[in-house]
Amino acid sequence: MSGKERSEESLRTPILEGDRTLWIIYAALIVISILVVYSSTAKMAYDISSSLTTTESLRQQIMLILVMSVPVIFVTHKINYTFYHRWAKAFYWCSVLLTIATYFVGTSMNGAARWLPIGPFQFQPSELLKVATILMLALRMADRQHNIDKVQLLPTSLRLKEPKQQRILRENTWPLLSPVIISCVVIAPAHISSAVIIGLASMLTLYIGRVPKRELAKTIGIGATVAIVGFTLLSLIGLGRGDTAFTRLTRWIMELTTDSRRDYVYELSDTQRAMIAIHNGGLTGEGAGHSTSRAVVIHPESDYAFAFFASEYGAIAAIMLMLLYLWITFRSIEICRRCVTAFPTLMAAGLGLLITTQAMLHIVVQVNIFPETGQTLPLISRGGSSLLSMSMALGMILSVSRMPYIKTNNKL
């Protein structure tokens, strides 16, 4: 082979680059999405209030995958991570402003303004804000890696006018916690569970970024207290989804402490119906397209996609699906170990945790460990906004994984 031929050969790159395992996981989740949406929406044929047929719903989901998910993950994984480093701030503040805009010009559904109308489509900016928050947090943490293991996240005294406390607020509290706080405050009135996901994923990212455990524990304690007080106020004044969340919480507590409602199918909660679906699936499931639970499970194509999947394919397949989401985090951490700078390390780890956290929250709701949230199952549930944001997050992780990093002693 001549020198020119060898040079041309070296310039050739595969169409899909990066971590092969993550590509396989993505392909598996997309296939599952098509199966779940097609089978779960069969009941629409008998719903006179629905304008969609099963075939139409399947066609929409496939189009979303082909026109949105696949192009987004392809483009984002081809972009060098330095682009995300450069534009993280702009992306974050645009996402915040778009989310705020939904309260004024957005489409309201079930008492919550969450969607912005874009032509014939409805877009949920809060889904992008989840990704943007992790990028912003990674950016801020990367700038403080020289002393991150000794950082004080919160003031040590209530005398906030003292120079020492002012320095802590200026150098640590505001830079590291403000992106999380702002995102949670902006999202919470419309979708409290999304604020919970941002909070959990952000705390895990801070932990991976070597923030002292005692500081994290203090932050989580104070944050949880403030969240409970804020949640109570939202419920009392009836602002946003506060009353809905309070109803779900009290119903969840009641279901844990009494079984008086379990005698009548028509009085079962959405979560109880989901647990029945999981039970009916057994170990091996009722078979694809043969679930008897789709007629009673509420939103089996979105909010309760995991329960429906378990009913058709069984507990064994459901556990394997859970492992796929956990595998995303494990692969993200493995990718981090090859990074030589802080930002791509924290971005990959944080986004992997974001995907897995949302998946796990969706799953624990199905088995009544957590109150109803309305969170979708990443890359599987029917819908465009979540599919877009999760495809973007996975594409960014793949972007980091395709970089030719060399292990050095100065990595994070």
In a domain, 4, yes or no: no
Cα four-point dihedral sign 257, 262, 268, 272: positive
In a domain, 268, yes or no: yes
In a domain, 316, yes or no: yes
Q: What percent of the chain has pLDDT over 70?
A: 79
Q: Which amino acid is at 218?
A: K
Helical ranges in 269-304 per DSSP H: 270-281
Count structural domains, the chain.
1
In a domain, 409, yes or no: no
C-beta separation of 131 from 83 below 8 A: no
3-state secondary structure of 188: coil
Q: Answer with the residue of higher pLDDT: 313 or 107.
A: 313
Q: Which strand (E) or helix (H) includes residue 109?
A: strand 107-109
Q: Which residues contact 10 (CB under 8 A, 6 or more apart)?
A: none
Nearest alpha-carbon partner for 353 in 213, 175, 200, 233 = 200
C-beta separation of 268 from 262 below 8 A: yes
In a domain, 113, yes or no: yes
In a domain, 212, yes or no: yes
pLDDT digits (tens, 9 = 90+) for 177-194: 999 999 998 988 877 888
In a domain, 150, yes or no: yes
pLDDT of 103 strictly over 80: yes
pLDDT of residue 410: 35
pLDDT band at 72 (very low <50, low <70, confident <90, very high): very high
pLDDT, averaged across the chain:
80
β-bridge mates for residue 383, sequence order? none
Q: Which amino acid is at 247?
A: T
pLDDT band at 354 (very low <50, low <70, confident <90, very high): very high
Q: Which strand (E) or helix (H) includes residue 108?
A: strand 107-109
Query: What number is the average pLDDT over the span 166-177?
Result: 85
pLDDT band at 379 (very low <50, low <70, confident <90, very high): very high
Q: Answer with the residue of higher pLDDT: 292 or 97.
A: 97
pLDDT band at 330 (very low <50, low <70, confident <90, very high): very high
- Strands of the 107-109 sheet, one edge to the other: 107-109, 112-118, 121-123
pLDDT digits (tens, 9 = 90+) for 218-274: 888 888 887 777 666 666 665 555 555 555 556 555 555 555 444 444 566 677 787
Most confident residue range from 168-172, 250-254, 315-319: 315-319
Residue 260: domain span: 13-401
pLDDT digits (tens, 9 = 90+) for 27-46: 999 999 988 888 877 665 55
In a domain, 238, yes or no: yes
Report the distance separating Cα 199 and Cα 59, nearest Å.
Answer: 35
